[in-house]
Structure formats: structure tokens, C-alpha cells
A and B are shown apart, each in its own frame.
Chain A
Amino acid sequence: MEEKYLQYTPQDFKSDQEVRWCPGCGDHAILNAVQKGLPEVSKVLKYNLERYVFVSGIGCSSRFPYYVDTFGFHGIHGRASAIATGVKVANPTLSVWQVTGDGDALAIGGNHFIHAVRRNIDINILLFNNQIYGLTKGQYSPTSPLGAITKTSPFGTVEHPFRPGELVIGAQGKFFARSLDVDVKLTTEVMVEAAKHDGTSVVEILQNCVIFNDNAYDFLTDREHREDRIITLRHGEKMVFGKNRDKGLILSGLSLKVVTIGQGGFTMDDILVHDAYNPNPGVHMMLANMEYPEYPVAMGVIRNVKDTTYDDNVRDQVLEVMKDAKIKCMDDLLNSGETWDV
């Protein structure tokens, strides 16, 4: 039975709990993608099922762990990054997945989120961004666009939203990817990449909340325009997009610019090649921040850079100190230092 990791199917990751999200909610598709991705991750990384732990906070998205038949911990609002960090440090052999919403990760849990990223603890964070508070029925979130009309902003919000990618890279993040709920194939693909990456991997998944923020991403999912509005990045490949694959990104001055190949004297040679492994965050930041209509929205793995991880450092330091330590047990410690006899 040692090679169980070769034999899993999505069915093995389905729990007996009834899935309670609203019909049509983007979360269903993401669950589907993750259940498809886990057998793949298992195969690639030789993980048996008992190694997976799904940790979440509170929100519609945070119900996720109940639906995956692995170890799971449904935490409290905003604290999933901290809980996941504790799980990983306690047992670094586990494959730890955090599932979180835009409110959970970026509002109440913003502090824990950026510090997890800064520490580069080896956890995978799936951030479901529906630009709204779903569970509490439709208040604006830190990713709601300026002016968004919601229950708590009847006249439109007056605050600027976070861009998750910018926040991650700003916090020295080493891995950032983006996908779209309806694109099950891409979600599966980037989650496997996230799992393979040592360190904090953040995957932002644009997710439609049919009830409180329906159609927020229609401009991207709409079949007719999809390919002109999305660029899917793959390391080592040219940054081209468009129905006819005739559009591309070039560096113009200090900014990215969309050009049409064959027009204005631009050829394929001018188009940038995606280097996800480049430690310099400059281009990654620009890619992560691209917004429609000026730019296509970037999908796929935008940044994927190797660095030491928190959990490895903790383990190595303990081993290093233990190696030639004089104190080997509690009795040694009690009797260390200044003592005297009575």
C-alpha cells in the first residue's frame, strides 16, 4: 500500500458532508478543481492522503475543509494563516492548505496573511476573491472596487481596494498565481505548481458570488471576449494573448505596454518572455497589477522564486543547536548554571 499516492482519484477527496454553497456559486467549481488537483499533487510529490491538512477561517469559502476528505481545521475569522503556520511548524511533513476569502485574508486577517508571506512558511493559500463578504450577506470587502455599491456602501465605497498580488509581492512573497473559478483546468494546474513550490504560495482565485456580487467577473468569463481580456502566463513562454494570439506585452520605458504583433513595427521578437523565476519583483508586480481595460488580466503563475522557508529554518536551527548541546534533557537543564549544596 506504500504507493497509494499513485492511485487516488478525485472521489477519494470527497467527504460525506453535503455541500452547502448556493447553487451557481463559484466555490463549487473551485472545490471541483481542488479535488481534481489533489490526486495530481499526490502523484508528483508522493503524498498520501493523510498528509493533507486544509485550514480555513470564516466565510462561505472557509467552509471548504468540511468538503475535502482529509484532515481539516475550520478556524476563526481571519486567523487561518496563523493556524496553518502552527500546523506546519509542528509537523513540517504535512502538506498544509489554507482556504480563505478576501475578507478573511485581507481585512480581519491581513496582519497574519502578510506575516505568513513574509516568513515564507511552506503553506499553500487559496484566496477566493469574490470582492464581497458572502457569508454575512453582502457588505463590501477590501477588494471591492472604489465606488462599489453594497449593503454597507449604499452610495458606493469611498476606499481604495487592495490588489492581492501587489500585497503579496510587497510582503516579499515568492509565489503568486491567479486563476478563475470557471477555469477548472487552470486552477488545477496552478494548485499543483503551488504545491510544488517550497514556501508560501498564494493563489488568488477570482470567484463569482451569484447572490451578492453576481457578474463581477463577467468581463473576463464572457466567452466572446475572454481571450482578448486574459493573458495566461507560463514560465519561459512569450507573453501573448488574444483570440488570434496576435497581441503581446512589451516593456516600454518603465511600464508594460500592449502591442499588436505585426503592427507598428512590432514582431514576436519584441514580446516579453515570462520569467516567473526572476527574483526581481519588478515585472511580476506590473503583471499582477494589470487591470482591464488598459491591460489583459494576468492568469497563471506570475511569480515563483526559490528561497529558504521558515519551517526549514526552524527545523535546521533546532538540529544545529541540538548537535553539540550540553543540555540534553530536563535534568541537565535543572542542574545547569550556578548551583550549591545544602
Chain B
Amino acid sequence: MDKQKSVQELDDVVVRFSGDSGDGMQLTGTLFADASALFGNGVNTFPDYPSEIRAPQGTVGGVSGFQVHLGSQKVNTPGDFCDVLVAMNPAALKANAKWVKKGGMIIADSDQFNEKGYQRAGYKTLDAITELNLQDFKVIYAPITTLTKESLKDSGLDNKSIVRSKNMFSLGMVYYIFDRPLNFTEKYYEIKFKKKPEIVVANKKVLRDGFNYAANIQAIPNTYKVKAATSLPKGKYRSINGNTATAWGLIAAAEKANLPLFCGSYPITPATEILIELAKRKDLGVKTLQAEDEIAGICTSIGAAYAGNFAVTTTSGPGLSLKAEALGLVVMTELPMVIVDVQRGGPSTGLPTKTEQSDLNQALYGRNGEAPMVIIAASTPSNCFDYAFTAGKIAMEHMTPVLLLTDGFIANGSEPWRIPNMKDYPAINPPIVPEGTENFMPYARDEKRLARGWAFPGKKGIAHRVGGLEKDFIKGSVSHDPMNHQRMTDIRAAKVKRVEEFIPEQEVYGDKEGDLLVIGWGGTYGHLLTAVQEMRAAGKSVSLCQFNYINPLPKNTREVFKRYKKLVVCELNMGQFANYLRMNFQEFNYLQFNKVQGLPFTVVELVDKFNNILEGK
């Protein structure tokens, strides 16, 4: 290894892997993230992939990216811009050049920068550096395809498999640049390709050859060192993404309630992975039903809830639209259910693989009649576990549907997670009606939560009928009485409101009063937090109030808002939460920062915005 090269020590660094959809960039990025997490870094990732499975090869539309942010502290975002970009072809470079920090390092596969490659990516010239204005960047052209072929020429693999391994060559190069051990990734190969030892050997060789190649060439200007994080709480860690965490949180709730978990669902990006994770868990007795559509997804869950399972349904915006009528039925029958909406760009099919927070209105109001619903939003990949669990607890104990909002960003993003212990989670005690209860009244309620009893079919003496027609206040039989309808409407609203007694008060990051309160909800947490931290480090009086409980809002919300001179509501939609707050707390003036580009906020734009607000611009 060339000792001459300078080592740059950094608190945090961002790497972006990009290539054709078929180039395996998601795996490459994931392996790098996992190796870094294992090394002890704080890690946060962001996959950015096209909605086409295989867009025409070499085109900008087919570029798939995976960004990894690592730090010597916990990192809360995947980073706005990257220090190192790996571009497997001209299209990847073209699509991602704008995300590289000025002066950053770019590793490109020179074999792909030929006439055909340039043409497919829509370049006007055959010179990416000039055309993309990359003169100030450290661009390293490496013949990655050729070197991979050379590396594996004796492997016995066919040409296609050999070329497919080039992502591992580039990963090897990146490992050298970040001084990462290879053993974790080698172990991964051994497990993943247990039945194909020749692939294990080949992958190991390419990875090492990539590493050695980077060590030997003079072109690598410097390597980076990002120390292991020392501030992380001690414990056993694993990496988790939001969708897996959501699935697991639901299973955890079922376990605490001692009831089987049932999920009726229909695949839809970016929510499908929840169904996939749940389908794996037959070992924990989870029943998944891939329904014929989203309506059947929720309706099978309604049947399962009625019959005494902890029932959930998972979807994204378009699917939530289809479920609307059935959601009203859950409100009416007052059965427990968790509905997960992993938000994506809308309206209509919109931007299926991109993130947005524009389903809030639909969640709050998207049903016929007066049909209020408990709404919770998770805010990080790992806390999807906690909020899915909490959603289950509220649903079952309060006998109510709970809509859990996540989004494509936290659903696909991953981070290291200190593994929780189930004994630290509270019990879940649904109001199950005992067999043989005398004079059972289906709509009689407990005073504390206003929850009705959950009477499972199969139990003696409590046969009863429920349905979507308005219910008598106590008996639950059909009632068209005007005053009864008013009373039932009131109590359904009161029941949702009552949940505020069972959720924590709203917390604020930063000072309890000051010049500016940044208000957010759900998955924007990491970016808002990082921006507020930067502002505070610069001595500005800025605090953050990130909501997880949307309906009902925490009881102290008004008290929190009162103590700041200015409020700005930041969200990835055109102001849905801001309007909701206006409706609830009319006395405040809400500034807004909105973005709908299918992308998360960047810390830079947030800091700019906050500075402008403070300066009265």
C-alpha cells in the first residue's frame, strides 16, 4: 500500500453508488453500509431507484442509486451531497453529478464511457468532464469492466456472471478508500451463495482485486478515515429499514396482546416489503393474505378483526384511496385495526418510488361521513417499530382503527438500531368479552377509553350482529333514530379525542422558547433535526417540534407553540399539516416550507430558509 497518500480524517462522509438498474447498486450500497455499521460508524442510507424495473440500459431514466452517510457520531440523514460518487456508466454520472460536493471524488468505469455509452445517456459530446463541468472534481476513470473480466478469467464463470460482478470490484475500491475490512462482506458471500461455492470464490477475488487495484494506482488522491462512533449507547445493534421495522412492530404488538397477527394486503410500492416481511414470519404464526385488490386487503382484515385476530393492512396512497369505504366500516363497527400507509409521490400513480407526505389529508379526511380516525406517523426507519407497536396497542385497547403513516424515505432508508428487549415494552390488554357474559351489549363502553368490548365469534352466549348501518348507542342493533345518530357521531369523535390521555406530551428539541420553532411531522425528522442542530451550533435561537401523534394532537401542543416568536411548518406537501394546525389552533401565524419533488429536504435548503425567516426576509 502506498503510504504516501494522504489520509483525510472526517467526522462524517457521504458515498453514493450509482449505475444501471441491473448493476446491483442497491446491494453494493447495502453491503458498504452494513460493513460501516459493523465497524462502529453511525450510518444512514437512502436508496433512490427508478420505477421501471429495467429501463433501457444505459439511459438516465434507468439509473439506480444508493447513498450511504457514515459518521463518527449518530447520523440522522443520508446526507444532502456526497463526497464520493461511484458511477458505473455515463448515465449514472450525468444523473448524479449534481449531488457531488464541490471537489469531491468520482470513480467512473471508463470502459462504459465509450461512444455508445455517451449516446445512450444523451450526452452531446464525448467528454463528460467538460460537458458536466466537473473540472474541479477528482475524477478517477478506472477500467472496472476490463479489470473484472481479467480478475475472473479463470473462474469458470460465464461471461455474463463475470460482468455482473463488476459492482464488487467497485466496492473493493471503495473499501480501500475508506480503509474498511473485507471480512464482513466475505462472510455475506458465504452465507448468500452457500450452494454456489464458485460464486463465493469469484466474488471474494473481485472484491480483493478491486481493493488492491485502488491501493496500487496513483490516481486515488487520498483516503478517508471516519472513526467509529463513541457516543452510541452501548448494546447489541443491527441494521434495520423502516418497512422491516414496521412489520416487526406489528408482530411485536400481536405477541404482547397474545393474539395471532393477520395481514390482508395487496402489493404496492413502496409498502410491499412490509407484506414480504410478514409473509416470512409463519414461524411466529403470522397469517398473510395477498388479496385480489386493496379493498379485499382491508375487508379480509375486517373479517379477521371481527373474528378475534390482531388485523392489519398495509398499502401506499393509491391503495389507501381504494380502502376508504372500508375504513368507514371499521370506524362504524369499532373494531381494532392498524392501517399502514407508506406514502409516495402523488396524485394518481404519481412517483411510485419517490417520497412525499401528501397523504395526510387523505388520512385525516378521506372517508364519507363523520369518520375521525387515530393517526400516527413514524419519523425514522427504526422508530417505525415503536410506532407500529403503539398503533397496535392503541387499536386493540381502544377498539379503533389506527392509521400509521410512514413514507418511502424512511421505509427504504436504514440505520443501525440498538436491539430492543421485548420485556421493556408494555403489555397490551384488549377488552375481550369473556364467554358466557350475561346481557352482553355490543356497544356498551368502558369509561376510561370509551372502548366497546371485543366479542369473538365462537364464544358462547355473546352472539351479536354488527355492520355498517348506524348502531343503537348500547345494543348495537340498527337504529335510524336522529338523536341516536348525533350521539353516536359525538361518541366516535370523543373516543378518538380520548386517546390524547394515553399518548406522551409533545417534546421539543432545543430551548423551550425562542425566536423560531421548526414544526415537522413524520419522516422529515432527520433532516429537520440536522438543520436545527446546525442553526443552534451557529448560535441561533431555533428549536424543533416533530410530531408523531397527528390525531389526536398531544394535549400540550398549544402551550408549546405559544413560546416562540415564529413558527414554520416544514413538510413534503403543499401545506396539509400547516392547514390542519391552523384549523386546530387558529391564534398562531404559521409560516410554511413545502417541497414536492419526490425528494427529502436537504439540510442546506432548510438552513437557508430558517436564516431567511430569522432575518425577516
Contacts and interface: CB of A to CB of B under 8 A. Distances in A.
Given A90-B304, A330-B284, A17 B238 contact: no
A339 B302 contact: no
A165 B305 CA distance: 31
Given A51-B458, A76-B325, A334-B420, A86 B236 contact: no
Contact of A322 (B282, B456, B467, B469): B282
Contacts of A278: none
Nearest to B460: A50
B466 interface: yes
A79 interface: yes
A91 B466 contact: no
Given A86-B307, A339-B419, A341-B237, A321 B283 contact: yes
A111 B418 CA distance: 44
B237 A112 contact: no
B347 interface: no
Contact of B236 (A73, A94, A335): A335
Contact of A75 (B284, B299, B478): B299
Contact of A79 (B251, B296, B308, B463): B296
Nearest to B307: A90
Contacts of A48: 460
Interface of A, secondary structure class, is mixed
A342 B233 contact: yes
Contacts of B326: 76, 79
A79 B465 contact: no
A340 B255 CA distance: 25
Counting chain B CB atoms within 10 Å of each CB, the highest count among A53, A90, A333 belongs to: A90
A206 interface: no
A197 interface: no
A322 B307 CA distance: 22
Contacts of A50: 457-463
Given A69-B463, A90-B262, A82 B291 contact: yes
Interface stretch (B33-41, B154-162, B495-503): B33-41
Interface string B299-319: 111111111110100000000
Counting chain A CB atoms within 10 Å of each CB, the highest count among B260, B307, B420, B463 belongs to: B307
A72 B476 CA distance: 12
A90 B309 contact: yes
B430 interface: no
A164 B31 CA distance: 54
Contacts of A87: 303-304, 306-307, 457
B283 A322 contact: yes
Interface string A318-342: 1001100111111101110111111
A334 B235 CA distance: 13
A48 B300 CA distance: 24
Contacts of B237: 339-342
B292 interface: yes
Nearest to A118: B292
Interface in B258-292: 260, 262, 264, 281-285, 287, 289, 291-292
B292 A111 contact: yes
A70 interface: yes
A53 B460 contact: no
Counting chain B CB atoms within 10 Å of each CB, the highest count among A52, A317, A326, A339 belongs to: A339
Contacts of A334: 238, 248, 419-420, 422
A94 B458 contact: yes
Given A83-B302, A340-B237, A66 B465 contact: yes
A93 interface: yes
Contacts of A139: none
Interface residues of B, number: 70
A333 B458 CA distance: 32
A228 B137 CA distance: 92
Interface in A49-87: 49-53, 55-56, 58, 65-66, 69-76, 79, 82-87
A15 interface: yes
A163 interface: no
Contacts of B311: 86, 90
A55 B303 contact: yes
B70 to A, nearest CB: 14
B282 A321 contact: yes
Nearest to A321: B282
Contact of B238 (A58, A329, A338): A338
A56 B300 CA distance: 13
A226 interface: no
Interface string B320-358: 000001101100010000000000000000000000000
Contact of B457 (A53, A317, A329, A339): A53
Interface in B581-614: none
A52 to B, nearest CB: 8
Contacts of B419: 334-335, 339
Given A79-B299, A89-B304, A321-B282, A94 B457 contact: yes
B239 interface: yes
Interface string B187-230: 00000000000000000000000000000000000000000010
Contacts of A49: 463
A81 to B, nearest CB: 8
Interface string A35-54: 00000000000001111110
A185 interface: no
A314 interface: yes
B235 A73 contact: no
A115 interface: yes
B112 interface: no
Contacts of B130: none
B565 interface: no
Contacts of A79: 295-296, 299, 326
Given A83-B302, A90-B260, A342 B235 contact: yes
Nearest to A86: B303
B248 A330 contact: yes
B234 interface: yes
B513 interface: no
B461 A83 contact: no
Counting chain A CB atoms within 10 Å of each CB, the highest count among B235, B239, B468, B477 belongs to: B468
B287 A314 contact: yes
B403 interface: no
B125 interface: no
Contacts of B478: 17, 66
A82 B329 contact: no
A327 B284 contact: yes
Given A53-B307, A83-B299, A75 B289 contact: no
A90 to B, nearest CB: 4
B303 A73 contact: yes
A89 B286 CA distance: 11
Nearest to B299: A82
Nearest to B191: A338
Interface string B25-55: 0000000001001101000000000000000
Interface of A: 15, 17, 48-53, 55-56, 58, 65-66, 69-76, 79, 82-91, 93-94, 111-112, 115, 314, 317-318, 321-322, 325-331, 333-335, 337-342
Ranked nearest first, the 8 interchain pairs of A and B with the lowest CB-CB distance are: A86-B303, A74-B467, A325-B283, A82-B299, A86-B300, A72-B465, A90-B307, A90-B304
7 contacts: A82-B303, A85-B296, A91-B308, A112-B296, A318-B282, A327-B283, A333-B284
Given A53-B457, A329-B284, 12 more contacts: A73-B333, A73-B467, A75-B299, A85-B289, A86-B301, A89-B300, A94-B457, A334-B248, A334-B422, A335-B238, A341-B234, A342-B418
Interface of B: 34, 37-38, 40, 229, 232-239, 248, 251-252, 255, 260, 262, 264, 281-285, 287, 289, 291-293, 295-296, 299-309, 311, 325-326, 328-329, 333, 418-422, 456-469, 477-478
